[in-house]
A and B are shown apart, each in its own frame.
Chain A
């Protein structure tokens, strides 16, 4: 059964710092991996989706990488801003099983201090 882990659970950085959020998964037979952002009291917003055949995806200051062999994905945020403060979740979609079942990590709560 796929398990997705995000460490650390919380992270606090000063504004302007480049940072990396980590996501690990136990079953490498994934179809894709998605990164989301969740603001307090809100739903999730999709940030990036990496197909299993891809190594990375970029959107603005965000870059997500995928290494299936090691069971890891990272989300790189460049030049962090207070507006980046939120909880970031990753989720893996596996081949087989329940086709609709994205397995989510519990998230990393990011705080960017001015």
Chain B
């Protein structure tokens, strides 16, 4: 059972570079999420998609864009990376917005 799969696991970027974090789930879930986790700040929601075809901003959306490519896949794009975006990024999915979340293992991103 793959669950939620995130790629890549690790990434180092220089300031100003762009990249896309990929996420796919095989549980036929409707809702998908992107969180970032920082020491002392906890987990914060960047964007979420309640269902295929919809996306909404979370608590910290600035500097990010998302695409719900289909029901399985939800990608997060950094257009111009900044050192403040150094973090661990988690993708999650759930049957709906009020169901338990299932998390991927995260992408550790460092921006120098």
Contacts and interface: CB of A to CB of B under 8 A. Distances in A.
A19 interface: no
A101 B42 contact: no
Nearest to B102: A46
A35 to B, nearest CB: 10
A106 B43 CA distance: 8
B90 A100 contact: no
A106 B44 CA distance: 10
B42 A106 contact: yes
Contacts of A106: 40-42
Contacts of A44: 43, 90, 92, 101, 103
Contacts of A32: 98
A58 to B, nearest CB: 15
B50 A34 contact: no
Contacts, number: 64
Contacts of B100: 34, 46, 49
Interface size class of B (residues with CB under 8 A): 20 to 34
Interface string B83-112: 000000010100001111111111000000
Contacts of A89: 42-43
Interface size class of A (residues with CB under 8 A): 20 to 34
Interface in A1-57: 31-32, 34, 36, 41-46, 49
A100 B105 contact: no
B58 A101 contact: yes
Interface string B29-62: 0010100000011111100101000001111000
A100 B41 CA distance: 19
Contacts of B31: 100
A99 B43 contact: no
B76 interface: no
Interface of B: 4, 31, 33, 40-45, 48, 50, 56-59, 90, 92, 97-106
Interface of A: 31-32, 34, 36, 41-46, 49, 89, 91, 93, 98-102, 104-107
5 contacts: A43-B90, A46-B100, A89-B43, A100-B33, A101-B59
